[in-house]
């Protein structure tokens, strides 16, 4: 069973992000495996183990610094990796999916492709669908339970409001993983050491034969979220407090 997992190199949610130049940020902060992708990695490892044979390949589109994240993904049990190098962190999702498709296609024939349902930085939630379109494969996202039997994937997915639906999908196909699908393993020291020796093939995005001059979505402006002000306690009767609140919202916060 040949399984590919698309993994993104993202800033840690606890990191302090500093906007630089209005369209980028200082990349001195800590980076991690996109958390939703971790569920895809774990599920890929489990499915190959259940199949009795196969390989799990991590595929990342990003800067060379993404190698650190890829090693962390390999420590979770994947066999090897492919890094498509680019100079941009916020790469257009259409181009990202095309690069992933070309890299996977040149490497082998996928039986199953995993992605996280979204990335925690740009949160576009498009890559899995665009990748499936590029491969002409079916896709299911927000998957919380998965079983594979006789070339068919049966997935349970969240559809909001506490409801779920069950879908059968012929393989090969793309799965968008989310929280609840499994419990990603915490790599131990021997796993981390082994990951350092695993193969990671590096390919420049220009070598994939893509039209890099085509129009792309661009970041026009990035702004840091304003820090929250201190809470203000209002006193007096209910009427007096309401009047003071309305006055504050109008004159100070400018939201009314």
241 and 204, same domain (yes or no): no
Bond into 247 cis (ω within 30): no
Q: What pTM was estimated for this model as a whole? A: 0.85
244 and 120, same domain (yes or no): no
- What local confidence, expressed as pLDDT, does residue 216 receive? 81
191 and 238, same domain (yes or no): no
Total number of domains in the chain: 2
Find the range with the poorest average confidence among 88-102, 134-148, 151-165, 229-243: 229-243
CATH number at residue 183: 3.40.50.620
Q: Are 117 and 127 in contact (CB under 8 A)?
A: no
243 and 181, same domain (yes or no): no
Mean local confidence (pLDDT), 13-20: 84
Q: Which long-range contacts (CB under 8 A, 24 or more apart) does 122-125 make?
A: 122/90, 122/93, 124/93
- Residue 117, burial from CB neighbour count under 10 angstroms (0-12, 13-18, 19+): buried
Mean pLDDT rounded to a whole number for the chain: 92
87 and 38, same domain (yes or no): yes
Query: Distance (Å, rounded) from C-alpha 129 to C-alpha 138?
Result: 9
Is residue 222 in some structural domain? no
Find the range with the poorest average confidence among 11-20, 74-83, 187-196, 226-235: 226-235
pLDDT digits (tens, 9 = 90+) for 216-248: 888 888 887 777 777 788 889 999 999 999 988
Q: Residue 244 belongs to what domain range?
A: 227-256
Q: In what order do the strands lie in the sheet with 139-149?
A: 163-170, 152-160, 139-149, 173-177, 112-116, 2-6, 55-62, 80-85, 200-204
Token representation of residue 229: 């002000």
43 and 141, same domain (yes or no): yes
- What local confidence, expressed as pLDDT, does residue 254 receive? 78
């Amino acid at each position: 069973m040949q399984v590919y997992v698309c993994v993104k190199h993202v800033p840690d949610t606890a990191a302090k992000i500093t906007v630089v130049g209005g369209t980028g940020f200082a990349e001195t902060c800590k980076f991690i495996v996109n958390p939703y992708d971790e569920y895809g990695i774990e599920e890929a490892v489990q499915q190959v183990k259940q199949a009795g044979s196969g390989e799990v390949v991590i595929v990342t589109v990003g800067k060379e610094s993404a190698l650190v994240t890829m090693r962390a993904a390999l420590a979770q049990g994947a066999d090897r990796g492919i890094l498509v190098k680019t100079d941009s962190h916020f790469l257009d999702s259409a181009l990202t999916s095309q690069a992933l498709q070309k890299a996977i296609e040149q490497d082998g024939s996928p039986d199953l492709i995993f992605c996280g349902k979204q990335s925690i930085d740009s949160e576009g939630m498009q890559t899995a669908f665009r990748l499936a379109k590029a491969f002409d494969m079916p896709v299911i996202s927000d998957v919380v339970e998965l079983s594979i039997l006789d070339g068919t994937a049966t997935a349970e997915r969240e559809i909001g409001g506490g409801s779920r639906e069950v879908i059968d999908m012929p393989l090969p196909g793309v799965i968008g993983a989310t929280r609840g699908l499994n419990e990603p393993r915490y790599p131990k020291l021997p796993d981390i050491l082994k990951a350092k020796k695993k193969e990671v093939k590096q390919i420049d995005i220009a070598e994939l034969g893509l039209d890099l001059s085509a129009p792309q979505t661009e970041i026009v402006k990035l702004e840091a979220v304003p820090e929250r002000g201190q809470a203000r306690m209002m006193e007096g009767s209910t009427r007096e407090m309401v009047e003071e609140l309305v006055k504050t919202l109008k004159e100070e916060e400018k939201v009314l």
